[in-house]
Amino acid sequence: MLDAPLTETDAQASLRRSEADNPSSLVMRFGTDAPLTLDAGPAIAPWQIAYQTYGELNADRSNAILICHALTGDQHVASTNPVTGKPGWWTLMVGPGRPIDTNRFFVICSNVLGGCLGTTGPASTNPDTGRPYGLDLPVVTIADMVRAQAMLVTGLGIDQLFAVVGGSMGGMQALQWAASYPERVFSVVAIATSYRHSSQNIAFHEVGRQAVMADPDWCGGRYLEEGRNPKKGLAVARMAAHITYMSDRSLHQKFGRNLQDRDALAFGFDADFQIESYLRHQGMTFVDRFDANSYLYVTRATDYFDLGADHGGVLANVFKGTKTRFCVLSFTSDWLYPTSESRAVVHALNAAGAPVSFVEIESDRGHDSFLLDIPEQFRIVRGFLTGAARARGIAGPAAEEAQ
Amino acid sequence: MTDLADLASDVRVDLRLIAGLIEPGSRVLDIGCGDGALLELLERTRGVDARGIEISQEGVNAAVSRGLSVIQGDADSDLVQYPDQSFDYVVLSHTIQATRNARRVLDEMLRIGRRVVVSLPNFGHLDVRFRLMFLGRMPVSKRLPYSWYDTPNIHFCTIRDFVELARDVGAKVDQAIVLDGTGKRLPFSLPWIVWNLLGAQAVFLLSREDR
């Protein structure tokens, strides 16, 4: 089934490989004098973090917003992705005049640790061997990702971020920032996320990882050296995951039982239904831009995420005494990270006395809603950041100040 | 900080009254905060640390868009999450009649807040009595705009009823302000029975007696 169109262009493949070590974005490199300690135990050095920035840092360095990307996102939040040539993944949210207004804020977005677009990950060259890390890279966690980001932020000369904003796995990082560096985060926006991965979340990720590792082209994780790519496994992993990003209702509205390029059932195992064709397309385009081992690492990081675990399982203790302001958003049809999990975060924040805003937004479009054009979401994020910026004393953009 | 007296008169009179009861710089939780009008007023004129709970999505969205710390939640079920005495004031403004268990809500408010502010429409008001007595209909007016079958207001009470409830839950009435139908304050010296008849709405400042 997945055979025919799996013709990754050589250009795109080599582009992706070169982005892993030498990203076309900005990159901050840390030598052996600045190792990154990992929850798994060992530290890595040298290591690097790839990032993009938008807008200008103000004189007192108070207007920086860090955007944390989701599972397979990247640092190109509002700029063209060098591998796919597609526009940034959150241009509805970030840009001049957008809710995260780059005329007002200095926006930083970095590729996560374990990613494949320029931050150290399994596709990066292991300095000890000169070969790609593969599975020799220690397993990374959300807290590790945040620790790496903190070193980047320090390197940029910023003591305190005005906001850390993220959806899904990005939201986990935002919450982790508030837990790890409460003094360094003035406000947090956590969208469509959770404080820990549920059993069901882990289950879906395990299906994806098993699909990757069952592909003979995975070669025990050494496919880059073998000149192979476990595309089929990774495509299946993406297909399974993609279902969890949408709601039953949105799938039904979009595809129903409609047939793909045919008038009748073909009585075979080709893609009869539009939904099958759609999922295959999602799988195939994904393998062109993403590294299979990276997929193992980032899914593992989210599975390991359990914010309350280090605090005796009491989430409120994580946020004890925090001065950070929080904005938590969930979507009615998100069954991957349902509203009940956002509510648990909100309850914990209330118990800790933290200032928190929380809205469940009506949307049929499932978990992916946070990436889509949902005006309510933009209105709330804009309002929250505007209020927080007022409290932080950040000057508005010229137009707003004139009002 | 804007002075309360400088405010344009378009701010609802009961909200201005409540604001007048709140010490500047205190921590305030507004239960059933709607679009956040009171919280914004309190932030602006009293410099308070303002938080809100609101059940309707439109209300929460409007409040959060104003930059207020407001969560979507239900007074009947979501107050348990707040620690004892975590606020200086807990406010219930024109909301008690919409709660399922008004007694428990009031009890929770007295646990969470050092002081409690409750404002309510008085169902014992002359106008209400008139409508019931002479028209034989449940009252529908500008202040009580809902028909009996689609109203969120399931637990109406009179000023005297509320005073009794306050006593039952062990609360002391530190201050009571009663407004007539035109929003004017009724004189302090009038007896309860007159307040209950002429008062269109009332604002109470309560605290637990044993503290």
B173-to-B117, B169, B178 alpha-carbon distances in Å? 10, 11, 13
Of B64, B71, B83, the CB nearest to A380: B64
Domain presence at residue A80 = yes
Same domain, A28 and A106: yes
Same domain for A29 and A124: yes
Answer yes or no: are the C-beta atoms of B195 and B184 closer than 8 Å. no
What is the pLDDT, as a whole number, of residue B139? 82
- Say if the ipTM goes beyond 0.90: no
Please give the structure tokens belonging to residue A83: 């591998």
Which residues in chain A have their CB less than 8 angstroms from residue B33's CB?
Answer: none
Do the Cβ atoms of B62 and B56 come closer than 8 Å? no
Asked whether residue A391 is assigned to any structural domain, the reply reads: yes
- The better pLDDT of the pair B143, B207 is held by B207
Q: Are residues A149 and A182 in the same domain?
A: yes
Q: Are residues A220 and A368 in the same domain?
A: no
Going by C-alpha positions, the residue among A371, A376, A381, A382 that lies closest to residue A89 is: A371
| Percent of chain B with pLDDT strictly greater than 70 | 94
**A61 lies in the same domain as A173:** yes
Same domain, A84 and A154: yes
Closest approach of chain B CAs to the CA of A18, in angstroms? 43
pLDDT for res A4: 42
Residues of A noted as catalytic: 168, 334, 367
Total residue count of chain B as it appears in this document? 211
Long-range contacts of B124-127 (CB under 8 A, 24+ apart): B124/B158, B124/B159, B124/B160, B124/B161, B124/B196, B124/B197, B124/B199, B125/B181, B125/B197, B125/B198, B125/B199, B125/B200, B126/B197, B126/B198, B127/B181, B127/B200
Domain limits for position A162: 21-197+306-402
Residue A261 in tokens: 């390029």
Both A41 and A163 in one domain: the answer is yes
Whether A156 and A182 map to the same domain: the answer is yes
B33 interfacial to chain A (CB closer than 8 Å): no
Q: Which of the listed residues A260, A275, A299 is the one where a domain comes to its end? A: A299
Q: Of A279, A299, A319, which one is at a domain's C-terminal end?
A: A299
Digit-by-digit pLDDT tens for chain A (403 residues) are 454 444 455 677 788 889 999 999 999 999 999 999 999 999 999 999 999 999 999 999 999 999 999 999 999 999 999 999 999 999 999 999 999 999 999 999 999 999 999 999 999 999 999 999 999 999 999 999 999 999 999 999 999 999 999 999 999 999 999 999 999 999 999 999 999 999 999 999 999 999 999 999 999 999 999 999 999 999 999 999 999 999 999 999 999 999 999 999 999 999 999 999 999 999 999 999 999 999 999 999 999 999 999 888 899 999 999 999 999 999 999 999 999 999 999 999 999 999 999 999 999 999 999 999 999 999 999 999 999 999 999 987 755 544 4
**Which of the listed residues A256, A284, A299 is the one where a domain comes to its end?**
A299
The CATH number of the domain holding residue A373 is 3.40.50.1820
Q: Is residue A6 part of a domain?
A: no
Are A244 and A162 in the same domain?
Answer: no
Whether residue A187 is contained in a domain is answered as: yes
Give the model confidence (pLDDT) of B72-99 as tens digits: 999 999 999 899 999 999 999 988 988 9
Tell me, yes or no, if A339 comes closer than 8 A to chain B by beta carbon. no
Q: What is the pLDDT of residue A403?
A: 40
Q: pLDDT for B140-184, tens place per residue?
A: 877 778 888 888 888 888 999 999 999 999 999 999 999 988 888
Residue B15 has pLDDT above 70, yes or no: yes
CATH of domain B4-208: 3.40.50.150
Q: Are A32 and A180 found together in one domain?
A: yes
- In Å, how far is B83's CA from the nearest CA of chain A? 6
Beta bridge partners of A178: none
C-alpha distance from B71 to closest chain A C-alpha (Å) = 4
